[in-house]
């Protein structure tokens, strides 16, 4: 291998591909496993990269950049494409100016997601070409191919990765950037103004384009037959190709990189070479069902062997096709699980402690704070999608007006700005007396601490206007807006009670503030436990803080990870947990 080879994640390789391909604009909202695409693209010179408030505005901005003639990439996680689906399906009709690539990063196995939808269906739904790289080198190459396809066929192109592509590292040799002129916007209402009259003229072009793309896929270098034994033909794409190639070194392969529209002639040619076809793909039988419908004259199996759920791997392919079952080392069954937890010093902990204590129903949302659903806090009763906390609370109040007195919606700052404003407006407009807690930790924490419209800076480090959450809520018509400190349990209790017990019409908003512990560079000294005063009652353990433990029926504080947030001190009824400065035995005042 050459010395110029470097190793990078699939996401880094997508960013490199965009850079090499002359992309000048990148748009995204952070979402695992897609986040690092824009973070990396933003490091290259000559590329304007922004975090958008959500995926819809990201794709819309990408459309505008493309209309100006710029090459552009929009990156999002699988569920982010749901948010961007509205512009996407009509973008298919308008086509593009400069090349436009939409990256969808799917998450089979739900490592960090609320569902494991298979976004290849979007390519079919929107009638768009779909590329599926199977390692980092292909990720770069497919972005370059996608940009070319986009411009040649006047179409946005979907590039689909999965977690094991986005977050796996493999090698490639970086290339040079192409600098391309940006043509500038040219008025063309029949192409870009999707009034019914114009849209009716565009739709047949979309259908013709799909046929032309199918011809293109037939001869695309992204699709290839890898010769092998006639006994078994494997059709596969994405990371599943790698698992299958490792498990089945002797089989004949049809490796699809350009996987929609399918290269049907190539598939027929492949079918004529093999006695049996097995389709190996994660999640839905996207390829398999299309192959079955082609009546290829050879037996086709796929989901008959492999699950519809989760990720595949080399093991299951060896087992199902070669009947080689590995007998891995067996370990004891009782190993305590290690679910993710809120960090020591997390600004969300006290809120969920209090919500549970007040016995409220809590509609939750997407972010680190969703961990408030896990033991011991167990204080969240719903989590659907970005922004749903407010809409769900609103619906509960409409179905049962009494529910507003025992329900709180909880949403993070970045999630609120992503899609919480509209349902809050809904609550104002419809006089719903719901209580909304905006947990403002000044960052998009779960995805790795990205800035957002409330933080005062942009992805590329430019200062920007930070939205004022109180004024934003007031301007929507929320009459009762208060702010509290996330680390002051009394203040939190009073604010939440005042919200849910309020007789005023319309929603109350409580902005709960403390920066994410990751944003801080230093902490106070951890408190100490007075062994004599501690009764071992375990009240402090209800916080679910990783820095707290009960040892020999006394509370113990792990001072290497404690950030001195002070919550356990406030909870202790026996004054046994004391700030570090005071010695044990002194009073708390």
Query: Interface with another protein by CB under 8 A: which residues?
Result: 1, 5-7, 9, 32-33, 35-36, 111-112, 135, 164, 167-171, 239, 242-243, 245-246, 313-315, 318, 326-332, 334-343, 368, 371, 374-376, 446-448, 538, 541, 544, 546, 548-550, 560
Residue 58 tokens read as 């990201």
Closest separation in Å from C-beta 341 to another protein: 4
Task: Considering the complex, state which of residue 76 and residue 428 has its C-beta at the smaller distance from another protein.
Answer: 76
Closest CA to 157 of 106, 92, 63: 92
Least Cβ distance, residue 173 to another protein (angstroms): 11
* Cis amide linkage into residue 143, ω under 30° from 0: no
Q: How far is the CB of 161 from another protein (least distance, A)?
A: 12
Q: Where are the alpha helices (DSSP H) in 248-313?
A: 264-273, 286-292
The H or E element spanning position 148 is helix 136-152
Closest Cα to residue 526, out of 572, 487, 558? 558
Q: Which of 547, 567, 566 is nearest to 558 (CA)?
A: 547
Q: Report the nearest approach of another protein to the CB of residue 295 (Å).
A: 32
Cβ proximity of 256 and 287 under 8 Å: yes
Structure tokens at 8: 């990078």
Query: Among candidates 516, 364, 522, 340, which has minimal Cα distance to 444?
Result: 516
Please say which residue, 400 or 558, places its beta carbon nearer to another protein: 558
Closest distance of CB 169 from another protein, Å: 4
Q: What are the beta bridge partners of residue 146?
A: none
User: Is the Cβ of residue 250 or residue 503 nearer to another protein in the bound state?
Assistant: 250
Nearer to another protein, 385 or 541 (CB): 541
Output 475 or 560, the one with its CB closest to another protein.
560
Measured in degrees and rounded to the nearest 5, phi and psi for residue 329 equal -55, 130
CB contact at 8 A, 356 and 543:
no
Yes or no: say if 72 and 24 are a contact pair by the CB < 8 Å rule. yes
CB-nearer residue toward another protein: 100 or 383: 383
Q: Coil, helix or strand for 206?
A: helix
**Residue with smaller CB distance to another protein, 210 or 371:** 371
Closer residue to another protein in complex, CB, 83/346: 346
Beta carbon nearer to another protein, 33 or 526: 33
Nearer to another protein, 14 or 206 (CB): 14
- Token pair 């100016």 is at which residue? 97
Length of the chain: 589
Query: CA 71 to CA 47: how far, in whole Å?
Result: 10
Contacts of 209 by beta carbon, 8 Å cutoff, 6+ apart:
95, 127, 153, 154, 155
**Residue 41 beta carbon to another protein: minimum distance, rounded to whole angstroms:** 17
Question: C-beta of 100: minimal distance to another protein in Å?
Answer: 26
Least spacing, CB of residue 225 vs another protein, in Å: 17
Q: Pick between residue 47 and residue 371 the one whose CB is nearest to another protein.
A: 371
The minimum distance between CB 440 and another protein, in angstroms, equals 19
**Residues 407, 492 contacting (CB under 8 angstroms):** no
For residue 562, CA distances in Å to 244, 354, 517, 557 come to 46, 20, 11, 7
**Please, are residues 480 and 499 in contact by the beta-carbon 8 Å criterion?**
yes
Q: How far is the CB of 191 from another protein (least distance, A)?
A: 39
Rounded to a whole number of angstroms, the minimum distance from the CB of residue 117 to another protein is: 17
Torsion over CA of 181, 185, 187 and 189, rounded to 10 degrees? 110
């Amino acid at each position: 291998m050459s010395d110029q080879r470097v190793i990078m994640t699939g996401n880094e390789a997508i960013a490199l591909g965009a850079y090499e391909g002359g992309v000048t604009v990148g748009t995204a909202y952070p979402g695992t496993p897609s986040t690092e695409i824009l973070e990396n693209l933003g490091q290259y010179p000559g590329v304007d990269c922004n975090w958008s408030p959500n995926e819809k505005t990201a794709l819309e901005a990408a459309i505008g950049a493309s209309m100006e003639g710029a090459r552009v990439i929009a990156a999002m996680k699988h569920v982010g494409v749901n948010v961007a689906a509205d512009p996407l399906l009509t973008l298919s009709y308008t086509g593009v100016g400069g090349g436009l690539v939409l990256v969808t990063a799917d998450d089979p196995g739900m490592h960090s997601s609320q569902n494991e939808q298979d976004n290849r269906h979007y390519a079919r739904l929107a009638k768009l070409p779909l590329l599926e790289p199977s390692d980092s080198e292909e990720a770069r190459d497919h972005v370059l191919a996608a940009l070319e396809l986009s411009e040649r066929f006047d179409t946005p192109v979907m590039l689909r990765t999965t977690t094991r592509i986005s977050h796996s590292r493999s090698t490639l040799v970086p290339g040079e950037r192409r600098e391309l002129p940006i043509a500038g916007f040219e008025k063309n209402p029949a192409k870009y103004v999707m009034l019914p009259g114009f849209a009716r003229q565009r739709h047949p072009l979309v259908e013709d384009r799909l046929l032309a793309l199918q011809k293109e896929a037939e001869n695309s270098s992204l699709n290839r037959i890898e010769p092998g034994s006639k006994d078994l033909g494997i059709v596969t794409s994405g990371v599943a190709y790698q698992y299958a190639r490792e498990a089945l070194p002797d089989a004949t392969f049809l490796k699809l990189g350009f996987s929609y529209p399918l290269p049907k002639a190539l598939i027929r040619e492949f079918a004529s070479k093999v006695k049996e076809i097995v389709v190996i793909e994660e999640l839905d039988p996207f390829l398999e069902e299309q192959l079955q419908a082609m009546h290829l004259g050879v037996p086709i199996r796929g989901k008959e062997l492999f699950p519809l759920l989760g990720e595949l791997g080399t093991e299951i392919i060896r087992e199902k096709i070669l009947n080689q079952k590995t007998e891995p080392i067996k370990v004891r069954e009782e190993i305590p699980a290690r679910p993710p937890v809120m960090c020591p010093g997390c600004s969300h902990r006290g809120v969920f402690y209090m919500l549970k204590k007040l016995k409220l129903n809590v509609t939750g949302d997407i972010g680190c704070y969703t961990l408030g659903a896990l033991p011991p806090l167990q204080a969240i009763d719903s989590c659907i999608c970005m922004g749903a906390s407010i809409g769900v609370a609103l619906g509960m109040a409409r179905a049962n007006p009494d529910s507003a007195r025992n329900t709180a919606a909880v949403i993070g700052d970045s999630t609120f700005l992503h899609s919480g404003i509209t349902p809050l407006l809904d609550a104002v407009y419809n006089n719903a007396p719901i209580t909304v807690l905006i947990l403002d930790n000044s960052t998009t924490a779960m995805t790795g601490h990205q800035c957002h419209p409330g933080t005062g800076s942009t992805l590329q480090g430019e200062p920007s206007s930070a939205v004022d959450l109180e004024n934003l809520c007031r301007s929507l018509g929320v009459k009762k807006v208060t702010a509290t400190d996330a680390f002051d349990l009394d203040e939190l209790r009073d604010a939440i009670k005042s919200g849910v017990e309020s007789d005023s019409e319309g929603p109350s908003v409580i902005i709960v503030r403390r920066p994410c512990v990751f944003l801080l560079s230093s902490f106070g000294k951890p408190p100490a436990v007075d062994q004599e005063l501690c009764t071992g009652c375990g009240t402090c353990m209800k916080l679910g803080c990783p820095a707290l433990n009960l040892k020999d029926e006394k509370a113990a504080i792990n001072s290497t990870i404690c950030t001195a947030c002070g919550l356990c001190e406030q909870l202790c009824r026996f004054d046994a947990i004391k700030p570090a400065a005071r010695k044990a035995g002194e009073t708390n005042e």
